[in-house]
């Protein structure tokens, strides 16, 4: 059952528009993504957190097309990827090595879920891309996976690449007790240099103080509040920021949807060399599975290979 307080991203501004932020809380979207896979709990948890970050980052951009957040590394989970369309459809998947995952688990002394993403993915990088279709420039941001948590890595990106003062906190919860649900959430706040085209002196000490206050409020937000299904995101924001000229600016709903199709897969396979296609054939058929939704597509060998 879906909860009206989840699967949305609510945008807001503080300090008369000097700071902008957003809060995302995911429930059904994650169950829809994860039920397509049989991932171990820690992989599902890491993918849930990655999905929440992908929504936060994509929702902050104006684009028409596809936003992709991808973590790639040399650890037991070699890929975590979530993509979000400008129509607010999200899908996500992971690639992992079961044996390495078990070994890494045995080596760990604590079970701190929040620390798991960089630990699981190992050394590598996190990339953001925005693809707006043919004849447009591909926007790409890249940061190495240095940090204990996924939010530390994202904050490092904003500091090094975009030089924007950012506050960010991510939350994730694996199933507990009778619940089989994963939850993930996040809140992000940034200083904006312009307001209505007029430059704001965000180095002004009053602004700095307000930003520090807002940051402290974000850090004080607890998992219990963030995952309380009785509380709307607006109520959480009001509790945190009522003293800082809070204004809610937008609310967007997100849904799981995969964009795979037989035609798309056919055109991908058609670009393969005959010998590669032959390697994939079993009993005259080629079976291809979508990584994102596990949908199986079956083709006949003679659809591709010219004898
Ligand atoms: Zn698919």
Show the tokens assigned to 197: 């085209």
Distance 81 CA to ligand 1 centre (A): 13
Which is it for strands 89-96 and 255-256: parallel, antiparallel or unpaired?
parallel
Distance 123 CA to ligand 1 centre (A): 28
Distance 256 CA to ligand 1 centre (A): 11
Q: Is the pTM of this model over 0.95?
A: no
Distance 64 CA to ligand 1 centre (A): 21
User: Helices (H) and strands (E) in the chain — how many of each?
Assistant: 10, 16
Residue 233: CB atoms within 10 A of its CB come to 22
Distance 65 CA to ligand 1 centre (A): 17
- Map residue 101 onto helix, strand or coil: helix
Structural domain boundaries in the chain: 8-256, 262-303
Q: Hey, CA dihedral for 63, 65, 71, 74, is it positive or negative?
A: negative
Show the tokens assigned to 60: 């902050």
**Which residues on adjacent β-strands are paired with residue 289?**
296
Distance 262 CA to ligand 1 centre (A): 10
Distance 257 CA to ligand 1 centre (A): 8
DSSP string over 284-303: TEEEEE-TTT--EEEEEGGG
Fold category of 8-256 in CATH: Hsp33 domain (3.55.30)
Fold category of 262-303 in CATH: CBS domain Like (3.90.1280)
Per-residue confidence (pLDDT) for residue 46, from 0 to 100: 95
- Map residue 218 onto helix, strand or coil: helix
Per-residue confidence (pLDDT) for residue 207, from 0 to 100: 86
Distance 3 CA to ligand 1 centre (A): 25
Distance 259 CA to ligand 1 centre (A): 6
- Tens-binned pLDDT, residue by residue, of the chain (307 aa): 568 899 999 999 999 888 999 999 999 999 999 999 989 999 999 999 999 999 999 999 888 999 999 999 999 999 999 999 999 999 999 999 999 888 877 666 555 544 478 889 999 999 999 999 888 888 889 999 999 899 999 999 999 888 889 999 999 999 988 888 999 999 999 998 766 656 666 667 888 899 999 999 999 999 999 999 999 999 999 999 999 999 999 999 999 999 999 999 898 888 888 888 888 889 989 998 999 999 999 999 888 766 5
Distance 288 CA to ligand 1 centre (A): 11
Per-residue confidence (pLDDT) for residue 111, from 0 to 100: 55
Do 166 and 190 touch, CB atoms closer than 8 A?
Answer: yes
Distance 92 CA to ligand 1 centre (A): 10
Distance 293 CA to ligand 1 centre (A): 4
Question: Can you give the C-alpha Rg of the chain in angstroms?
Answer: 21
Distance 295 CA to ligand 1 centre (A): 6
Per-residue confidence (pLDDT) for residue 32, from 0 to 100: 97
**Which residues on adjacent β-strands are paired with residue 187?**
23, 169
Distance CA 58, CA 63 (A): 8
Distance CA 295, CA 37 (A): 10
Distance 37 CA to ligand 1 centre (A): 11
Please name which of 180, 176, 143 lies closest in space to residue 57, comparing C-alpha atoms.
143
Show the tokens assigned to 52: 């929440």
For 306, counting Cβ atoms within 10 Å of its Cβ (0-12 exposed, 13-18 middle, 19+ buried), the class is: exposed
Distance CA 229, CA 259 (A): 30
Distance 306 CA to ligand 1 centre (A): 28
Distance 78 CA to ligand 1 centre (A): 20
Per-residue confidence (pLDDT) for residue 101, from 0 to 100: 86
Distance 146 CA to ligand 1 centre (A): 31
**Residue appearing with tokens 């998992």:** 223
Distance 53 CA to ligand 1 centre (A): 21
Distance CA 185, CA 232 (A): 13
Per-residue confidence (pLDDT) for residue 269, from 0 to 100: 87
Distance 220 CA to ligand 1 centre (A): 39
Distance 144 CA to ligand 1 centre (A): 28
Distance 183 CA to ligand 1 centre (A): 22
Do 40 and 288 touch, CB atoms closer than 8 A?
Answer: no
For 295, counting Cβ atoms within 10 Å of its Cβ (0-12 exposed, 13-18 middle, 19+ buried), the class is: middle
Distance CA 213, CA 207 (A): 10
Distance 192 CA to ligand 1 centre (A): 37
């Amino acid at each position: 059952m879906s909860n009206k307080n989840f699967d949305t991203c609510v945008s807001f501004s503080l300090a008369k528009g000097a700071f902008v932020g957003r809060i995302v809380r995911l429930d059904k979207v994650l169950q829809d993504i994860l039920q397509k896979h049989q991932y171990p709990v820690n992989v599902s948890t890491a993918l849930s957190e990655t999905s929440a970050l992908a929504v936060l980052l994509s929702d902050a951009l104006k684009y028409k097309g596809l936003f992709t957040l991808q973590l790639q590394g040399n650890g037991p989970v070699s890929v975590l990827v979530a993509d979000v369309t400008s129509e607010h459809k999200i899908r996500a998947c992971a690639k992992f090595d079961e044996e390495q995952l078990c070994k890494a688990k045995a080596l760990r002394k604590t079970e701190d879920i929040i620390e798991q993403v960089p630990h699981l993915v190992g050394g590598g990088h996190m990339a953001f891309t925005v693809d707006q279709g043919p004849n447009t420039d591909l926007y790409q941001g890249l940061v190495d996976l240095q940090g204990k948590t996924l939010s530390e890595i994202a904050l490092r990106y904003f500091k090094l690449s975009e030089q924007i003062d950012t506050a960010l906190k991510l939350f994730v919860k694996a199933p507990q007790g009778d619940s089989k649900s994963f939850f993930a959430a996040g809140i992000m706040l940034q200083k904006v240099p312009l307001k209505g085209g007029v430059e704001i002196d965000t180095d002004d000490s009053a602004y700095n103080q307000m930003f520090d206050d807002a940051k402290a409020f974000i850090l004080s937000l607890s998992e219990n509040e963030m995952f309380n299904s009785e509380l709307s995101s607006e109520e959480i924001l009001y509790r945190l920021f009522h003293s800082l000229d809070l204004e809610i600016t937008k609310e967007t709903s997100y849904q799981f949807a995969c964009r795979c199709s037989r035609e798309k897969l056919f055109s991908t396979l058609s670009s393969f060399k005959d010998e590669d296609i032959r390697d994939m054939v079993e009993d005259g058929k080629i079976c291809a599975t979508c990584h994102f939704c596990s949908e199986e597509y079956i083709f006949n060998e003679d659809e591709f290979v010219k004898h």
